[in-house]
Structure 1
C-alpha cells in the first residue's frame, strides 16, 4: 500500500505513487487511492510533485518535510477546519524519474582521483539522463573519454562539440515552455567556466568539459516534467475528481514539479481550487498572452488564465538566491550568449523561481515580502518575494531547495483557503 507517515505528525499521512518516465504508474497503488477517495469523499485533495530528485527514498524524505511544514501551521489548520463544510483532506505525492547530474548512484567517482566505477558504467549512467538507445551512449562516451584525457581544455575538441550537438538533437522540445536558442556547446562550456564554482556531487565532478551535460539535462528534465504532467499526473487528477466529485483539488509543485502541477491543472476535468508553485524552473512567460521576442507565440500554460482553470489563488515563490533557476535557466536557454531583456525589464528566457510570472493578459499581484502576506485573492496570480526566507546557500543550487519554512507553509494554506 502507498500510505506514508509524516515525521512528527502521527495524525497525518499521505500516499506516494510511483511513475516511470513515460508517465505510466509502476504498480497499481493509485487503484487503492481512488477507492479511498470514493469511500471517504474528502473535502480537499492535495496533489504534490517534486522537481529534481533522486530515488523514491529521496521523494519520501522531501514530501515528509513539505507536509510536516504545513502540518506545523496549527492556526492555519484550525482555520481550515472551521470553514463551512469542514475539512477532510487526502494527500498524494507523485514520484517521477527526474535525476539531474552526479547523484549518489555515481558513488565516489572523481576525474581528479580516478574513477572508482568502470568508465562504461559511468557512460551508461550519464547517457540515461539524456535518452534511450545507442545514440546518447556513443555521444557521452566521446565526451567522457575526452574528459579523462583533459578535464578542462582551453576549448572543446571538435569531436566533443559534435557529440554535444548530437545529444541536443535527440530530444528537442518544440513547445512554448521549451523555448530556447540553439544549443552552442562551446559558448556554454566557456560560460560555465566563468559561472561555476568548483562543484562535486557525491565526489563526482560534472565541471569542466562535462559541464554542458548539466545544461542538456536541465532541458531534458524540463520536457519530461511537462510530458509527465500532461499524462500520468493529469490522469490521476481527473480520476480523483471523478471519485470525489465535490472535493477541492490543490496542486503544489517545486522546481520542475511546477511544470507538472501546471500541466495537470490544464488537463483536469474541472478547475482546481489552488495552485502553489515553489521556486519554479518554468518560464516566467508561461501564462503570458504573448512571449516577448516571439510574435504570435503564447505561454504554454496560457489556458490556465484564459479558461479560468484555478478557482482560488495561484502563487509563485521567488528568491534571488535560487542559483539553479537564476543561473542554469538563462545559461541553458542562451547557450552562453549574453542574456537579453524584454521590454518589460525581465530576461527573455528566465524562470519563475527568480522572476515570478510575467507578461500580458494576466491579473498579477506582487508581494514584496513573504512575511507580510495576509491573504491571497482568488482568481489572481500572486508573485511572492521570499528572498528573506529562501536564502540558504546549498552549493551550485543556491537556495533552490530551501522551501520548508513556516512562512511558505502558511502561504500554501492561504492559497487553500482563498477558494473557500
Structure 2
C-alpha cells in the first residue's frame, strides 16, 4: 500500500516513487487510481525538490500535509463549497539526491558523486582526481583538476549551460570563493550535479509525473487537480501543468528561472520555456519568494550562469523565482499574511521572507516552508472557485 499516515491528524496521503527515467517503482499508483474513482472533488499532487531521498520525502510531505490539515477554518470552508469537498493527496518521489552529507574522504562519496553524473570508470576516475586534490589543497585548482572537470562536463551530453556558455571550472571556483559558504574546488562538482537534477526534474514532470496526473484526471474527470512543487519540484509541477492543465499551481521557493513564463527572454529571441502554461491554469498561480533562501539567492545564479552573473535593470538574467518571483509577464505582488485578492488565471508573487527565514546551512531558509501563513495562501487558491 502506498498510503502514509500523518502523525497527529486523521488524514493520510499516497507516496508514489519513480526512478531517474520517470518510470514508477512498484505499482502504488494503482491505489491512487482506485481512490480517485471514489468521488473525490480535489486532487493534490506534491513534488519535493533536490537532495530528496525516500525518507526525506516522507518527512517533507508529512510536515506539509500536517501544516495544511491544521488550517481548520480553511478546511471547514472547503467542506461548505457547493458539491462538498473530498480530497486525494499524492506525494511524488523522484531521485533528486544531487549531493549529500557523505564523508568526502570515503570511496563511497567518490562512487556516489560519479554515479550522479552517469557513472563509469572514466567519470569515477575524474571525480577521484577532484576529491583527492580537494583533500590536499582545498583552495587551489590545479591543471589536473581543471582537466578532470572539463572531461566530466564534456562527457555528459545533457548538461548544457542555460545559454550555451562553455563550462569554466576555474571561473566557477573564483565566483564561489566570493561567498565562503560556497567556496572550495568541489563547488563546480556541485554545479554539475545541479544541472543534472534540473534537467531530471523537467523530464520527470513531462513523463512519469504527467502520466499519473493524466490517469487520475481520467479516473476522476470532475475533480480539480492542484499541483504544488518545492525547489526543483517547481520545474516538475510546471512541466506537469504543460501536459495536464491543473486548477491551481503553487511554486514554493522555486529553483527555476525567473524568466520561465516571460513573454520575451531578456536579450535573447523567444519566450520563456514554460510560457505556454499561462492560460492553462484557470485558478491562481502562487509563487513564493524569500530573501533568506540562500540556495536560490546565492547558489542558483552561479550554477545557472556558470559563475557569470549579468544584471538587467532590477533583476538578474540568471536568477531563480524563489528569490525574485516570476518576471517578464504580468504578476501581482503580495506579502504573506496580507495577501490581497487572488485573481484567477494570473501569477501572484508572494513575499514570504517574514516566515521563510530559519537559516539551516548552505541552503539558508530554502526548506523552511511549513508555516500556516503559507498553507493558508494555498487554501485560498483552492477556495477561489
TM-score (norm 2): 0.96
Instruction: Report the Cα distance in structure 2 between the residues aligned to 1:263 and 1:348, rounded to whole angstroms.
Output: 21
Structure 1 residues 319 and 180: CA distance shift in structure 2, 3 A? farther
Gaps in structure 2 of 5+ consecutive residues: none
Are 1:27 and 2:26 an aligned pair?
Answer: yes
1:167-206 equivalences in 2 (<5 Å): 167-173=152-158, 178-179=162-163, 181-197=165-181
Alpha carbons 1:180, 1:349 under 8 Å: kept: no
Partner of 1:203: none
Deviation digits for residues 204-263 of structure 1, max 9, x if unmatched? xxx522121111121111111001111110111111100000000000000000001000
1:410 to 359, 376, 379: 376
What SS does the corresponding residue of 2:23 show, helix, strand or coil? coil
Alignment map for 1:245-284 (pairs within 5 Å) = 245-268=221-244, 271-284=245-258
CA distance in 1, matches of 2:81, 2:166: 51
Structure 2 SS opposite 1:335: coil
Q: Conserved in 1, the CA contact under 8 Å of 2:311 and 2:317?
A: yes
Q: Distance in 1 between matches of 2:147 and 2:358?
A: 38
Q: Residue 333 of structure 2 is aligned with which of 346, 366, 378?
A: 366
1:204 equivalent in structure 2: none
On the 8 A contact 1:51/1:257 being kept in 2, the answer is yes
Alignment of 1:61-80 (within 5 A): 61-80=59-78
CA contact (8 A) 1:23 1:227 kept: yes
- The answer to whether the aligner puts 1:141 opposite 2:111 as a matched pair is no
**Where does residue 54 of structure 1 map in the other structure?**
52
- Give the 5 Å matches for 1:208-223: 208-223=184-199
TM-score (norm 1): 0.88
Say if 1:375 and 1:381 are closer, same or farther in 2 by CA, change over 3 A.
same
1:53/1:59 contact within 8 Å kept: no
Matches within 5 A, 1:14-413: 14-38=13-37, 40-103=38-101, 106=102, 109=103, 115=105, 117=106, 119=107, 121-153=108-140, 156-173=141-158, 178-179=162-163, 181-197=165-181, 208-268=184-244, 271-295=245-269, 297-305=270-278, 308-337=279-308, 339-343=309-313, 345-359=314-328, 362-367=329-334, 369-413=335-379
| Paired positions, count | 385
Q: RMSD of aligned C-alpha atoms? A: 1.7
Structure 1 CA distance for aligned equivalents of residues 252 and 58 of structure 2: 18
Deviation by residue 1:111-165 (Cα, 9 ceiling, x = unmatched): xxxx3x4x3x321111122223334213212212322332222xx1112112112
8 Å contact from structure 2 (residues 51, 99) kept in 1: no
How far apart are the structure 2 equivalents of 1:388 and 1:357? 19
Compared with structure 1, are the counterparts of its residues 309 and 171 closer, same or farther at alpha carbon in structure 2 (3 Å cutoff)?
farther
